[in-house]
Chains A and B, each alone.
Chain A
């Protein structure tokens, strides 16, 4: 049986008559990293706030670890770790004191977890430096460390790599990937840095104007973003056999509209064109197609490519 960590059913959030989230149906499976992609104001943070209990749905409901209802959700939230909008910390305390504070809040008995987490996020050498004097990147790391107290099963991170330097980004990416792999932690992460998200997430949720426009796996995304030569012709069956016989490739797809997507020989279009022409096939369309992640995102939300 599939194990769902989070499931939302027709989740709607309305502010002053305006739908910020509309009929959102999301299902998160254990041990995966979900990238939540959306423009500013798309509803990413609202969705995270609803899941974490900071706000309440107007309609619909949330299931956390198979439990629903406000009382049950509250209990199940002990299995969450969150950093939403910006990292929360007590400015006049050191990183260690901040983690100690949150360790006590969570009733975590192990005192060694504080030094372990400081080590994990690269803040072990901050000593007596107050959190208010931290750089933005250090604050982000502290926020992530706080979210990791209690070994959460679902980690919700809103723009966690904001303000991190390139090395920090790589470290946090490796950390999150490791947490997912080693501890089967489910991570819901929003970011505007799509290439970075692409290197981390196993699944993607594309949200736009409060609606989930698409939910897809990394494989599906790669498939959708794959570059190919799109060939439209009068004899697709013949073209398919020529591709196999003359070009020695089976890496192509015949689409329902009888066009063919050829994924090989992208750097050798002249050869492809010559082979097709030499075999007397009339070409209607011959173009290099495929999306970058950004292009694909824009096309899904109905941006300029679809206009």
Chain B
């Protein structure tokens, strides 16, 4: 399995797709921060928060995460690297775990610009706000701007951002079974984006239904896990991490169930 992970990391390193995706998230993160900076100053109208949201991490990763899964998991069926791994004696479980590990690593890599640029923006002490559309890193930026930096604050920020990365990875872990089942990048991107929108809508309904809220809190899409800030308590962060890790495991088990005896054409 370690061999498969090393090989896939080598492949990812040689790919221009990961570099392009990294470039897109870097530019989007910069645009997001600039808009979040100018909106509270009134230089950009509040009506543009919707456009600002399009550049936010939650929106961008919902699309690019699917693209990443499509390229690096579905693509492995086209170039037969999955076939070659199995015919050379690798177990299907090892293939799933290695593909998922490298995919998750890729997600963290393309999300890094949001983390870094958010830290840089917060360190300026300036006011940032994108209003009600703020989720994820944009939420940290909106809620925690003007905070005085210290070692403790930095530690909290690191914990919150790490939690957020794990939540995003958990949300996108749905793409692993989708990619291995559908084998078509376009379908993976479209279905995951649809699911993320549906998740957003259901999250809105959670306030009116305790049952729905409890069910949804068992997934990384609910429980306000995407709204962690520097003020989130250790318990909240831990709960978000545990739910996310369990969700990832469930997704991998489902994937194994699908892929264990699947015909590889």
- What is the bound-complex CA distance between A74 and B1, given in angstroms? 14
Query: Does A80 sit within 8 A of B, measured CB to CB?
Result: yes
B79 close to A52 (CB less than 8 A): no
Q: Mark B1-13, 1 if CB is under 8 A from A, else 0.
A: 0011011001100
Bitwise, B208-246 to A at CB < 8 A (1) or not (0) is 000000000000000000000000000000000000000
Query: Complex Cα distance A75/B80, Å?
Result: 20
Q: Within the assembled complex, what's the spacing in Å between the Cα atoms of A84 and B87? A: 10
Per the bound structure, the CA–CA distance linking A78 and B6 in Å amounts to 18
Q: How many residues of B contact A (CB 8 A)?
A: 24
A97 within 8 A of B: yes
Contact residues of A between 51 and 92, Cβ < 8 Å to B: 52-56, 74-82, 84, 86-92
A105: interface (CB < 8 Å): yes
Cross-chain contact of B89 among A54, A76, A93, A156 (Cβ < 8 A): A76
With an 8 A cutoff between CB atoms, is B41 at the interface? no
| A100 beta carbon closer than 8 Å to chain B | yes
Instruction: Check if A207 is an interface residue, CB within 8 A of chain B.
Output: no
| Interface set, chain B 1-55, CB cutoff 8 A to A | 3-4, 6-7, 10-11, 14-16
CB contacts between A and B, total, < 8 Å: 80
User: Would you give the shortest CB distance from A80 to chain B, in whole angstroms?
Assistant: 6
Q: Which residues of B contact A75 (CB under 8 A)?
A: 89
Residues of B within 8 A of A104 (CB): 3, 6-7, 10
Return the chain A residue nearest B75 by Cβ: A90
B3 near A105: Cβ-Cβ < 8 Å: yes
Tell me if B11 and A54 are in contact (CB < 8 A).
no
Given that A55-B263, A88-B79 are known contacts, is A101 also in contact with B11, CB under 8 Å in the complex? yes
- Set A81, A88, A92: member contacting B81, Cβ < 8 A: A88
A248 within 8 A of B: no
Per-residue B-contact encoding for A218-239, CB less than 8 Å = 1, 0 else: 0000000000000000000000
Known: A105-B3, A107-B3. A54 touches B10 (CB 8 A): no
Secondary structure dominating the interface of B: helix
Contact of B84 among A76, A79, A88 (CB under 8 A): A88
Is A174 part of the contact surface with B, judged by Cβ < 8 Å? no
Decide if B264 touches A54 in the complex (CB within 8 Å): yes
Contact A92 B83 (CB under 8 A): no
Q: Report yes or no: B3 in contact with A106, Cβ–Cβ below 8 A.
A: yes
CB distance from A22 to the nearest CB of B (A): 18
Closest chain B CB from A280 CB (angstroms): 67
* Chain A residue at smallest Cβ distance from B86: A53
Contact (Cβ within 8 A) B88 A150: yes
Q: Min CB distance, A196 to chain B, in Å?
A: 24
Contact A101 B10 (CB under 8 A): yes
Q: Which of B4, B6, B14, B83 contacts A97 (CB 8 A)?
A: B14
Across-interface contacts of A100 in B (CB, < 8 A): 10
Per the bound structure, the CA–CA distance linking A91 and B86 in Å amounts to: 20
- The answer to the question of B85 belonging to the interface, with a C-beta cut-off of 8 Å to chain A, is yes
Which residues of the partner chain B approach A53 to less than 8 Å between Cβ atoms? 86-87
A301 part of interface (Cβ distance < 8 Å): no
Known: A92-B16, A104-B7. Contact between A82 and B84, CB under 8 A?
Answer: yes
Residues of A within 8 A of B263 (CB): 54-56
CB nearest to B17 among chain A residues: A92
User: Is B91 interfacial (CB 8 A cutoff)?
Assistant: yes
Q: Are A55 and B10 in contact (CB under 8 A)?
A: no
Best-surrounded residue of B7, B10, B84 (most CB of chain A within 10 A): B84
| A102: interface (CB < 8 Å) | yes
Give the distance to chain A from B26, nearest Cβ to Cβ, in Å: 21
Residues 49-71 of chain B, each 1 if its beta carbon lies under 8 Å from chain A, else 0: 00000000000000000000000
A101 to B84, CA, bound (A): 11
Does the CB pair A146–B264 fall under 8 Å? no
B87 proximity list for chain A (CB < 8 A): 52-54, 77, 80, 82, 84, 156
Interface residues of A (CB under 8 A from B): 49, 52-56, 74-82, 84, 86-93, 97, 100-102, 104-107, 146, 150, 156
| 6 smallest beta-carbon distances between A and B, as pairs | A88-B80, A78-B89, A77-B89, A104-B7, A52-B87, A82-B87
* Besides A56-B261, A92-B14, 19 other A-B contacts (C-beta < 8 A): A54-B264, A55-B263, A74-B89, A75-B89, A77-B87, A77-B88, A78-B89, A80-B89, A82-B84, A82-B88, A84-B87, A88-B80, A88-B83, A88-B84, A90-B81, A91-B79, A93-B11, A102-B7, A104-B7
